[in-house]
Amino acid sequence: MISHVSPVRVRYRDTDQMGVVYHGVYLEYFETGRTELLRELDIPYSGIEEQGLMLPVLDLALKIERPARYDDLLHVESVIDRMQGARLRIDYRLYRADDPDLLVSGHTTHAFVSVGDLSPRRPPRFFLERLERASVREA
């Protein structure tokens, strides 16, 4: 299991008329968490694209336990627990920085595909090696 925590501040524009974070914005927070997790592993998305690959979202889930509000400082915990073939699943948990109670949980599933025809591809060697190194460090 590989995890990373990213801070995110709720902006005014992230909230709806009820004063809580609009549900679609949580997916943006997931993306921030995912990007920072990969960056922490020294796997910038640009490095994946340089290999002629992309990682589109195939599946996602989002469960809101409690709402976040304007100006909350959130911690987005992103976790890679497994890879299966060309698929990568990342789980997310969002908390207020000063409160251990879960606000939002969810996941995204991605597939490595070629840029040209979007056909599934094996993850690049450097990606797997960096995941392996990180797994050893966290164990």
Known active-site residue 117: no
User: What is the rounded CA–CA span in Å between residue 128 and residue 124?
Assistant: 7
Cα-based torsion angle of the residue sequence 125, 126, 127, 129 in order, rounded to the nearest 10 degrees:
90
List the catalytic residue out of 16, 42, 71, 81.
Answer: 16
Q: Rounded CA gap, 82 and 121, in Å?
A: 17
Sign, CA torsion 60/65/68/73 = negative
Active site residues: 16
